[in-house]
């Protein structure tokens, strides 16, 4: 097996707590689910990915992963993104994957063509490719070849940490700014930046766009998530896994 994608996904009731001043808990959970749906749909369209692995302790995320044909690795501890990434990387190694792409579940603007091109640029091991966030200091995606090239260390300032870890492992890291992966959501300002980016791409039928539009109309979280499902593109057929 060549390349797999790994998505660490928090329990929805713990997701996006820094948005608590703007959004209630039920709305934050529904938004996290809508964004994950868009990311899974985009990854299903990436050429070169043989499997998507969702690491989560959230039953709704696990059900959504199954709907899109992704594999679920249970995260009973919910100890954070780096710990969940480690569980996914262990599974990737057990599958014999040559490369692993760590992707967050809150980048719904993800462009399959950009990710396909990223994979094509980093075919050979050893390699560490870092996709920074829109601020340039965090890490929104991390491509590792082999999957144990470095141990992920997400969180504030993670771009510099990942660069240092790569060099310590004898690998010169590649920094790959990808426009569609720049927009993760941690704060109200991030949400506004994502909304502006999605408005620019109104031709795409994204669940997140439909949900944000419904919230802007004053609809509640359940109605907004129903609008998200109605406005989103249908899922592709779930692939068979050997």
Q: What is the CATH number of the domain that holds 30?
A: 3.90.550.10
Task: Calculate the dihedral angle through the C-alpha atoms of 183, 144, 92, 133, rounding to the nearest 10 degrees.
Answer: -10
**Is residue 69 a part of any domain in this protein?**
yes
When pLDDT is cut at 50, 70 and 90, the band that residue 236 belongs to is low
**Is residue 90 a part of any domain in this protein?**
yes
**Is residue 215 a part of any domain in this protein?**
no
In whole angstroms, give the CA distance from residue 37 to residue 76: 21
In whole angstroms, give the CA distance from residue 102 to residue 89: 9
Task: Tell me the mean pLDDT in the region 29-45.
Answer: 93
Confirm if 179 and 5 have CB atoms less than 8 A apart.
Answer: no
- pTM value > 0.75: yes
**Is residue 72 a part of any domain in this protein?**
yes
**Is residue 241 a part of any domain in this protein?**
no
When pLDDT is cut at 50, 70 and 90, the band that residue 107 belongs to is very high
**Which pLDDT does position 25 carry in this prediction?**
87
> Does residue 181 register a pLDDT over 60?
yes
Domain with 117 in it? 3-183
Confirm if 184 and 105 have CB atoms less than 8 A apart.
Answer: no
Count up the domains in the chain and report the number.
1
Confirm if 82 and 138 have CB atoms less than 8 A apart.
Answer: no
When pLDDT is cut at 50, 70 and 90, the band that residue 34 belongs to is very high
In whole angstroms, give the CA distance from residue 216 to residue 220: 10
When pLDDT is cut at 50, 70 and 90, the band that residue 36 belongs to is very high
> Does residue 163 register a pLDDT over 60?
yes
Q: Residue 109 is encoded by which pair of tokens?
A: 């603007």
Place of tokens 């820094």: 18
**Is residue 216 a part of any domain in this protein?**
no
In whole angstroms, give the CA distance from residue 173 to residue 18: 30
């Amino acid at each position: 097996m060549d390349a797999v994608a790994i998505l660490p996904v928090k329990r929805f009731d713990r997701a996006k707590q820094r948005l608590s001043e703007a959004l209630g808990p039920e709305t934050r959970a529904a938004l996290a689910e809508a964004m994950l749906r868009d990311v899974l749909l985009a990854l299903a369209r990436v050429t070169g990915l043989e499997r998507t692995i969702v690491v989560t302790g959230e039953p709704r995320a696990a059900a959504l992963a199954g709907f899109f044909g992704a594999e679920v690795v249970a995260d009973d501890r919910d100890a954070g993104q780096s710990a969940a990434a480690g569980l996914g990387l262990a599974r990737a190694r057990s599958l014999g994957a040559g490369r692993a792409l760590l992707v967050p579940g809150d980048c719904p603007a993800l462009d399959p063509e950009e990710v396909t091109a990223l994979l094509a640029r980093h075919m050979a091991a050893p390699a560490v490719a870092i996709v920074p966030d829109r601020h340039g200091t965090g890490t929104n995606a991390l491509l590792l070849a082999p999957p144990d090239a470095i141990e992920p260390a997400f969180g504030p300032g993670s771009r510099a940490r990942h660069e240092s870890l790569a060099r310590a492992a004898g690998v010169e890291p590649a920094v790959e700014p990808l426009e569609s992966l720049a927009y993760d959501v941690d704060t109200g300002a991030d949400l506004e930046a994502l909304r502006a980016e999605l408005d620019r791409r109104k031709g795409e039928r994204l669940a997140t766009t439909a949900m944000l539009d419904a919230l802007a109309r004053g609809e509640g979280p359940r109605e907004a998530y129903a609008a998200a499902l109605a406005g989103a593109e249908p899922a592709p057929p779930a692939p068979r896994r050997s």
